Chains A and B, each alone.
Chain A
């Protein structure tokens, strides 16, 4: 989703998908870098998914992300890449910290949340790797820690989709089936930051342009309950039936991150309000599903 959105913002850049190179194959990554000799690399590639998927196949999340990151950073060091932008995640942060919103200096103050521990550690290790490569080999790098994302090109297929995309599909189906209530999992009380993927793409373009190094959260200031997010989606889609919650698979209560450091280096950066972003996403869904 981020790559596809980035294409609209950064043309004239080479986009490589898994069809071009299997990043889990170290030799293939070496060949790719030797062939391309990029001066800058934006590394977005990862196995990503919702909580269910993380819980059901932890080994895949651990090994695949760890291998991909190690190969890509290693080849970047070996071929003298000038600037490396790696995409981490707020999942790399401790499952709980003493103070919210989370700031970049809290990154190593505890283990990632248990339900996606392998994914969280692999994403934290990406930042650790890049710091080490920077210190020893001079690889200039930035690591971005985005909150949850949604937007056009999102995955709406159900079991692997995140909250906003899943809600759009759920509300769509509920209206189609004429439901009087919207069935929701969990309690609706956890707080979440959902950011339009286009915002992250703009941030990436800004870091790339300025070759800015360091660790930066990229998270919308709207830290809303799941219930409020569902309400926004329903309003945008015009289907305002009551929501009925069941079960207790809530995940973390809150994991909001602060973008103060980002705004210090990109002072003109703005975040798209949730209602506006959901509207764009719903329009895309209507045209593409």
Chain B
């Protein structure tokens, strides 16, 4: 990938896509090809074919997907499997036919079996049943990485796949109902500070361990593998740092400046006790994350405040 290569970032308004665009621009890549959903509907094959025939991108970052929290994944099961299968199938195929030199497919750590060993190595793929709530999404993602694998073995297409851990950072979804644990906590503590609430209650015991990676690190890793890795095996992208939900809550409270009490509601479910992926393959290639969790949270909170995400559909009542 060179500074003047034609690079298509699919999903450039999403959390990862926008971070990839920031990273590429910051490193002097100046021929980025970007299309909003309104300009190009990737579920429509005719439109996708016409786009690839016209632009002939040399490199493709496949960061477009229908994503959501547990609720959305569980209730819109058909949407999640259809949209994701259509988007990735049309894009990967058109990219190959129009002479793309390399494609990076973005998966998710939810492709791994529910009861996979921790930390989860890449070869845990397809060794057991998936978490049922987001199975349609996971199955679509597995189909995507298998398609990349098959196009490599049959057509020699240089398609690679990465599986990120939990990501956070600028561009995240801070909606209290549909967001992931980290942005939800950040918003919760922000509102508690602004509202002067004496305590914040967290679901569960606070004991479960989770792994988080700043999305700017994820973008750097994507560009790194695009330039340094060409093989069939998928690659996990994680920070390798585990933190308990309790410690995460305390860290976020500190970053946000909330000084009230933090209470853990153990009557609420904890979810799985540990979720960590094994990123030793990526480490062996020579890539390590650069943003530690505290610094990443500070940046994310600054973005949260500056972007207007703090408002969303926010109603303030002045009494």
Residues of A near any B CB (own CB < 8 A): 2-4, 6, 10, 12-21, 23, 35-45, 72, 208
A-B contact pairs, 17 of them (CB 8 A): A12-B176, A13-B314, A13-B317, A15-B195, A16-B194, A16-B316, A16-B319, A19-B196, A20-B195, A37-B314, A39-B312, A39-B314, A40-B313, A40-B314, A40-B316, A44-B317, A45-B319
Q: Interface range on chain B: under 10, 10 to 19, 20 to 34, or 35 or more?
A: 10 to 19
Is B72 part of the contact surface with A, judged by Cβ < 8 Å? no
In the complex, chain B residues 162-213 whose Cβ is within 8 Å of any chain A Cβ: 176, 191, 194-196
What A residues does B194 contact at CB under 8 A? 14, 16, 20, 35-36
B315 within 8 A of A: yes
Q: Does B305 contact A (CB under 8 A)?
A: yes
Residue of B whose beta carbon sits closest to that of A38:
B316
Q: A14-B191, A35-B305 are in contact. Are A208 and B196 (CB under 8 A)?
A: no
* 8 A Cβ contacts from B4-48 to A: none
In Å, the complex CA distance between A43 and B315 comes to 10
Evaluate contact between B308 and A37: CB separation under 8 angstroms.
yes
In the assembled complex, B120 has its CB within 8 A of some CB on chain A: no
Judge whether A44 and B319 touch: CB under 8 Å.
yes
Measured in the bound complex, the distance between the Cα atoms of B318 and A23 in whole Å is: 9
Answer yes or no: B227 CB below 8 A from chain A CBs: no
Known contacts A3-B319, A37-B308, A45-B319; A14/B196 CB under 8 A:
no
- A6-B317, A41-B315, A41-B316 known, 13 other contacts, Cβ within 8 Å: A13-B314, A16-B195, A37-B310, A37-B311, A38-B316, A39-B311, A39-B315, A40-B315, A41-B317, A42-B315, A44-B317, A45-B318, A72-B318
Contacts of A17 in B (CB 8 A): 319
Give 8 nearest A-B pairs by CB, closest first: A3-B319, A38-B316, A37-B311, A42-B317, A13-B315, A40-B315, A45-B318, A17-B319
Residues of A within 8 A of B176 (CB): 12
With a cutoff of 8 Å between Cβ atoms, the chain B residues found around residue A37 in the complex are 308, 310-311, 314
Q: Which residues of A contact B310 (CB under 8 A)?
A: 35-37
Report the Cα distance A284→B2, complex, angstroms.
73
By beta carbon, the residue of chain B nearest A76 is B316
| Contact residues, B277-319 vs A (CB, 8 A) | 305, 308, 310-319
